[in-house]
Amino acid sequence: MRVGTLTTARRGTAALAVVLLCAGPVHAAPRSAAATATRYEAESATIVRGAAESNHSGYSGTGFVNGDNVVGSYVEFTVDAATAGTARIAVRYSNGTAASRAADIAVGGETVFAAHAFRATADWNTWATSTVTTPVTAGGAVTTGGEGGLLGVAVDPDWSANHYVYFMHTASEGNRVARMTYDGSTLGGYKVLLKGIKKNKYHNGGRLAFGPDGYLYASTGEAQDRDLAQDKNSLNGKVLRMTRDGKAAPGNPFGNHVYSYGHRNPQGLAFDRDGRLWEAEFGDSSKDELNLIQPGRNYGWPICEGICSTAGMTDPKKTWKVSEASPSGIAVVRNVIYMAALRGERLWRVPIDGENLGTPTAYYVGSYGRLRTVTAVPGRDELWLSTTNCDINGKEPPGADELFRVSIT
């Protein structure tokens, strides 16, 4: 294989999304004399490593959030700002300890106040308000302060007739699948096809791929709620199969959108020349996976990570140490799987042998940093390969990411 040339990089914008460790409601308002604050109750927000409780007094709403005093605990609110500018965020909280508790405040995925001090109050029944002012951008598309945002893109198989483009992205209520039409210069006609996919800071999944059957497949993470992966009535921790209008595809094994379940944070999806579906998946701390996806199968999470001896679970066809993979996009060319690795900073080549896989070979190890997406170039024995070094993990400056064309020889 050989690597082509740098093409471009991009940055996104987001609406107001506040992520912080707190106990009470948040008020958000633009800075103008006539502005009216909007109240957001913490117990109705997205809560990670904490719980809504009511065993103290003085709170508003139906309760308060008791956040774990650990790194990674947060509460997230999504606010659609009508116009860009600045906004005040007033956080009502209690801190019955004798010391200040520090928490970051992030807006649109960017930390705007690091280690903001929430000072001690007299006791857990005494409340105080901490107010900050921050810039915001207008819009309804949001990140999650982590791995949310624009997650996946797919082009309709009948592109020449309809010019449809499908997206999976993070929105105010969660992750969703949507469709737009490209008119030759711009995208328009935004239409939501599927909502109700829970979002979180991490484990959103989000890849899209059309199968040879004409249906749209989507990978969804369990949104850091492990039990959702085994819940066949949940859209999270799954590979979904749907029509081009977002309805559950006929023939799905459970009569809903679910095609397979028991997934932690599934990523790349690709079909081989015999119509089999392959999927790359982030493991927890032990093993990353490459799975052959079959309808109705249970892929084990959270009971299993990697090879599993539990009855009823489907084992991956290949596993890696997380330091060698942390897989993202996959593509199939000449009936060989190519898998981009983030933490592993390499491109894996894995030959397909029926329903099994041959010996993996690694390319470009450490040469280009974190590799995010690999896509087959239509009609050619080539790949498009992109880096993701400008994210929070890569820490490179804007404009440092690259898009390569790779020839398979």
Domain CATH number, residue 289: 2.120.10.30
In this structure, the answer to whether residues 302 and 239 fall within a common structural domain is yes
Q: Same domain for 284 and 162?
A: yes
Rounded to an integer, the average pLDDT of 21-43 is 57
Q: Are residues 157 and 255 in the same domain?
A: yes
Tell me the CA distances in angstroms from 281 to 304, 320, 348, one per residue in order: 13, 10, 14
User: pLDDT by residue (tens digit) across 329-339?
Assistant: 999 999 999 99
Task: Check residue 310 and give its pLDDT.
Answer: 95
Give residue-wise pLDDT tens across range 140-168: 556 666 788 899 999 999 999 999 999 99
Q: Are 269 and 389 within one domain? A: no
The strand order across the sheet containing 287-293 reads: 265-271, 277-282, 287-293, 318-321
Q: Tell me, yes or no, whether 73 and 213 share the same domain.
A: no
User: Would residue 41 count as lying in a domain?
Assistant: yes
Q: How large is the average pLDDT for residues 360-386?
A: 96
Specify the residue for token string 């400008």. 390
**Domain count across the chain:** 3
Asked whether residue 376 is assigned to any structural domain, the reply reads: yes
Q: Which of the listed residues 95, 114, 136 is the one where a domain comes to its end? A: 136
Give the structural domain span for 56: 16-136
The pLDDT-based confidence of 20 (bands split at 50, 70, 90) is very low
- For residue 203, being part of any structural domain is answered with yes
Distance, in Å, from the CA atom of 15 to the CA atom of 140, rounded to the nearest integer, reads 6
Amino acid at 206: G
Each residue's pLDDT tens digit, 272-299: 999 999 999 999 989 999 999 999 999 9
Final residue belonging to a domain, choices 86, 118, 136: 136
Task: Name the burial class of residue 378, with classes exposed (0-12), middle (13-18) and buried (19+) by CB atoms within 10 angstroms of its CB.
Answer: exposed
For residues 22 and 157, membership in a common domain is answered with no
- The reply to whether 284 and 354 lie within a common domain is no
Specify the 3-state DSSP secondary structure of 43: helix
In a domain, 4, yes or no: no
Instruction: Indicate left, alpha or beta for 331 from its phi (over 0: left) and psi (-120 to 50: alpha).
Output: beta
Instruction: Looking at the structure, tell me whether residues 109 and 221 fall in a common domain.
Output: no
End-to-end CA distance of the chain: 6
Residue 7 lies in a domain: no
Q: Are residues 58 and 203 in the same domain?
A: no
Domain boundary among 136, 169, 202: 136
Neighbours of 264 (CB within 10 A): 24
The predicted model gives 53-61 an average pLDDT of 86
Of the pLDDT bands very low, low, confident and very high (cuts 50, 70, 90), residue 133 is: confident
Q: Judge whether 8 lies within some domain.
A: no
Domain shared by 178 and 233, yes or no: yes
Provide the whole-model pTM.
0.70
Average pLDDT, the chain: 86
CB proximity list for 309: less than 8 A, separation 6 or greater:
none
Are residue 160 and residue 280 in the same domain, yes or no? yes
Asked whether residue 24 is assigned to any structural domain, the reply reads: yes
Distance, CA of 254 to CA of 190 (rounded, Å): 29
Residue 15, pLDDT score: 31
The pLDDT, as a whole number, for residue 25 is 54
What's phi and psi for 257, nearest 5 deg?
Answer: -75, -15
**What CATH number does the domain containing 89 carry?**
2.60.120.260
Is residue 271, in this structure, part of any structural domain at all?
Answer: yes
Q: Are residues 232 and 107 in the same domain?
A: no
The DSSP-derived string for 204-215 is -EEEEEE-TTS-
Task: Tell me the C-alpha distance between 235 and 197, whole Å.
Answer: 6
Q: What pLDDT score does 163 carry? A: 97
How do strand 403-407 and strand 382-387 relate by DSSP bridges?
antiparallel
Q: What is the CATH number of the domain that holds 376?
A: 2.40.10
| Per-residue pLDDT, 337 | 98
